[in-house]
Structure 1
Amino acid sequence: MPVPFEALIPLGLITGFFGVSGLLFQKLKNSVNEGQPPRYGVDRWDRIMMDRDFRLTGSKRGQSHQPTAPAGFSTSSAWTLEKEHL
């Protein structure tokens, strides 16, 4: 039985659109994570370390190789202060 060639055009379009959307989604995820693989199973400790890395480098995925913290790190505490309610 011959294959109807009219069916190959929509099949090619659908395959092409799925391929393009998958590629764009991969590039978007890669750019959000700064070129590193995505994190899975992030717990409280990981979030604390991401906040520390953000305060040190300005990026949640970036890490610093400096042995000492920059001067502004001592004043950028993760602890928030509450006002006293009298």
Structure 2
Amino acid sequence: MTEPKNPPKAKTAITLPQEVLDQLKEREAAGQIASVSGHIQSLLQREQESTEVDAVLSRLFPGDRPGPEHEEWAAKALGITGGTEQSSAA
């Protein structure tokens, strides 16, 4: 089943600290983000995708996250060379 390219949209109101809203509006005015609502939608989409990836990783590696050997294999498989050492905040 394929998802519609432009799913229907609905409006809602959210409450943000004034300084956060001001920063978002400044970024919008500077052209760094297309719109405040679009930016929030993008962040929510990324959060959902991250949750889905975490679920897959949990199924593939029950109990533990992938270790350094898995990360090294993935880096080689993806053709990533050098600078593959990243801190894992997860």
The TM-score normalised by the length of structure 1 is: 0.38
Highest Rg: 1 or 2?
1
